[in-house]
Chain A
Amino acid sequence: MRIAFFSDIHGNREALDACLAHAERQRVDRMVFMGDLVGYGADPVYVVERVAREMEKGAVALLGNHDQAAALGQSDGMNEYARAAIEWTHQALDAASIDVIKTLPMSVTDEDRLYVHSEASSPHSWSYITDAQTAERSLRSTGARITLCGHVHRPQLYHMSPSKPPVFFLPQSSTPIPLMGNRKWLAVLGAVGQPRDQNPAAAYAILDTTLNEITYLRAAYNIEKAASKIHAAGLPQMLAARLFIGR
């Protein structure tokens, strides 16, 4: 089975559509939306509706910190840009979208895999995985052979054999990576809607459970359009500018 994972869409309609079209050409059997559907981008309602439609067809979706904050209108502890975006998004979301968000789970276990938006040892703390140490905390907290998460907006891959600390690997786009046997794997996905690895193309990944391979992928999308909508919505300029440079 081929499963596509989309994380951190952040209300970016153009990026989501580009990834879904790209994934369709890769013959995927299932989709998992890894949280942060909204926040930052100008099309939160479109994104939630689109994901809800995929859920009706069997897709899985998780809750992200921005989804939670936008649904509740609570942005405590966030930086000024994020807070402005959350307040704007809270206003923009309709009741139906908020209902969808409220049904989203924090994590899902699927065979030997765990899906969670942020660091798995304490999903409600919304911690970031940025190095081997934070990856180890996540990996040690679960029995799952493969953990997939997002939240950091930078593609990373960690592998850990039973008696050793995990090792970082920077995945190369479009190269299938075998998730070999005797160890655990933590795949941190890049962002669909707001990449921060200096590559502005929308990021997602496909896991082939038969071949036991994960492939990190990039899809080009119309950044100008997404950015101009952010301007038009009166959201902070910086949220548009960063899309062009992927930071």
Chain B
Amino acid sequence: MARQTLEVGSTIDGFLVGEKIHTGGMATLWRVTRPDIDTPIVMKVPTILEGDDPTVIVGFEMEMMILPRLVGKHVPKFYGIGDFARQPYVVMEYIQGYSLFSLIEKAPLPADEVAKIGVKVATALVDLHRQNVLHLDIKPSNIMIRDSGEAALIDFGLSRHLFLPDLLEEEFRVPMGTGPYIAPEQVMKNRSEPRSDIYSLGVLLYYLATNVRPFGLPQAQGQLKKRLWRDPVPPRKLVPNMPPWLQEAILRCLEVDPDDRYDTAAQLAFDLSHPDQIKLTARSQKLQRDSLPTSWKRWLKSKGSDSGPRQPRPQQTNLAPIIMVAVDFSDGQEALTEELRVNVKRVLATMPGVRIACVNVLKLNRLTITFTLDEEGRSIHVQRLVELKEWARPLGLDQERVTFHVLEHMDPAEALIEFASSNHVDQVVIGARASSTLRRFLGSVSSQVVARAGCTVTVVRAPRAIAEAEAEDEKMIDTG
């Protein structure tokens, strides 16, 4: 491959090369400028040495393939790639912020800070996975926190796009990843599992919360396999004051079998944003590693487990969506809340992995802005929660699959839309009250949610309301 020597002041395809800001194992990074681009940008160039590891080259091909296809604030904005035969490079936005790597020295971090980082990174993963890309090398140095607060993922050299050829698969006989963070199935050379990223994020959260790496710093391949059978020390053993919910979340990410982890990054983000709603299992209580006979059994099982490349499975988010149900308890809405439940039942029948978030908005008016603080306000809030739980009880949902939220807001539609977007809700199920001329003019809550929510919205009507709507329509025709 022909190569140019990059140096300060040289120009490639209109990019003027500035200072070198990083020299890594795989690549160097240079600040560059181009007259028509007024944000800071960097050029990443592979370090290709004669007889070098071909992973460097193929990894760079993958990055050149994937980065141009990604959009959104959770990745660096893409500006250009170089011709592979001449000078391979990618030019991307310079992310202003800090690397998560710099946070490691502050570990152990308090639980709420760990959860906050977890939500940010999981949110970035939701965005990436929705674009059909798996990162497969989640670790502190590959995550930046923007000045605006969002996590941005960098370094797509080991990534895979589920609908594009995986140039790395089969090409190499060794597992690809970073020793401390790599998921067990990646160790077994499966590169098509979105939940591998959830595992690596679990390792990262464990590390941030305890200042200990759950699987140490493995040096050889054989040591990587150990995580298939030997479970990590429960983090609460290392940090006794860690709340059980955080151990629950972290150890769930670190399950060996992807089916035992969170189904989606959205579900992990959801749990870490609502710690009080996390279902605590035996995981949260563990203070010892599993007994040696248990590990030994897992070791035997891991010997027989199949390995090797897989064809990607259908997108995980479709099988395990988060569905938000907006339930209104105003008088006279019983038929409607019943119909909502019927609709949710239908969804449950077809999608066993679904999660239901039951939401009610406690409407505040301008005058009672301090409402939440007084005794009466609190008791209304609690009453609403009780009613939500009662509404959901006939659905017979396991605690792990249902959560309850009373939102206090002056604008119910706004509250619902905000909740849906910040919790990566895939679908909203909302009731529409009997129509009235007035409501049509003012715009009902449901019609506002339909118009402004970023996801699928199902509007449910009580059977009786249809007849009323017809009568209403006739009236309008009569008078109109």
Contact = CB atoms under 8 A, between A and B. Distances in A.
Given A161-B171, A175-B164, A183-B167, 19 more contacts: A159-B165, A159-B167, A161-B54, A167-B165, A167-B167, A167-B171, A169-B166, A172-B163, A177-B163, A177-B165, A178-B65, A180-B64, A180-B65, A180-B167, A181-B61, A181-B85, A181-B88, A182-B57, A182-B61
B165 A169 contact: yes
A157 interface: yes
22 contacts: A157-B165, A159-B167, A161-B167, A161-B171, A164-B171, A167-B167, A167-B169, A169-B164, A172-B163, A177-B163, A177-B164, A178-B65, A178-B164, A180-B61, A180-B84, A181-B64, A181-B83, A181-B85, A181-B88, A182-B1, A182-B61, A183-B167
- Range, interface on chain B: 20 to 34
A182 B65 CA distance: 12
Contacts of A178: 65, 164
A56 to B, nearest CB: 36
Contacts of A181: 61, 64, 83-85, 88
Report which residue of A159, A172, A181 has the largest number of chain B beta carbons within 10 angstroms of its beta carbon: A181
Contacts of A180: 61, 64-65, 84, 167
A232 interface: no
Interface in B71-121: 83-85, 88
B365 interface: no
Contacts of B166: 169
A161 B62 CA distance: 13
Interface string B148-164: 00000000000000011
Nearest to B68: A178
Contacts of B331: none
B311 A167 contact: no
A170 interface: yes
A164 B54 CA distance: 11
A174 B167 CA distance: 20
Interface in A124-173: 157, 159, 161, 164, 167, 169-170, 172
Contacts of B57: 182
Nearest to A164: B171
Nearest to A158: B165
B2 to A, nearest CB: 12
A182 B57 CA distance: 9
A172 B162 CA distance: 10
B58 interface: yes
B165 A161 contact: no
A23 to B, nearest CB: 21
B170 interface: yes
Interface in B1-53: 1
B86 to A, nearest CB: 10
Interface in B162-184: 163-167, 169-171
B367 to A, nearest CB: 55
A178 to B, nearest CB: 5
Nearest to B1: A182
Nearest to B170: A167
A167 B83 CA distance: 23
Contacts of A167: 165, 167, 169-171
Contacts of B83: 181
A182 B169 contact: no
Contacts of A169: 164-166
Contacts of B88: 181
A31 B311 CA distance: 32
Nearest to B132: A175
Contacts of B64: 180-181
The winner among B88, B164, B166 for most chain A CB atoms within 10 A is: B164
B56 to A, nearest CB: 12
A170 B311 contact: yes
A159 B62 CA distance: 13
Contacts of A177: 163-165
Nearest to A167: B170
B156 to A, nearest CB: 13
A182 B311 contact: no
Contacts of B58: 161
Residue from B57, B83, B165 whose CB has the most chain A CB atoms within 10 Å: B165
A230 to B, nearest CB: 34
B114 to A, nearest CB: 37
A164 B57 CA distance: 14
A177 B170 CA distance: 19
Nearest to B83: A181
B12 to A, nearest CB: 16
Interface string A168-208: 01101001011011110000000000000000000000000
Nearest to B57: A182
Interface in A71-94: none
A159 B170 CA distance: 12
A161 B171 CA distance: 9
A164 B167 CA distance: 11
A158 B65 CA distance: 16
B166 to A, nearest CB: 8
Nearest to B164: A177
A159 B311 CA distance: 16
Contacts of B84: 180-182
Contacts of A159: 165, 167
A207 B316 CA distance: 30
Contacts of B311: 170
Residue of A167, A169, A170, A180 with most partner-chain B CB within 10 A: A180
A172 B163 CA distance: 6
A194 B1 CA distance: 43
Nearest to B64: A180
B332 to A, nearest CB: 48
Contacts of B164: 169, 175, 177-178
B13 to A, nearest CB: 15
Contacts of B167: 159, 161, 167, 180, 183
A178 B163 CA distance: 11
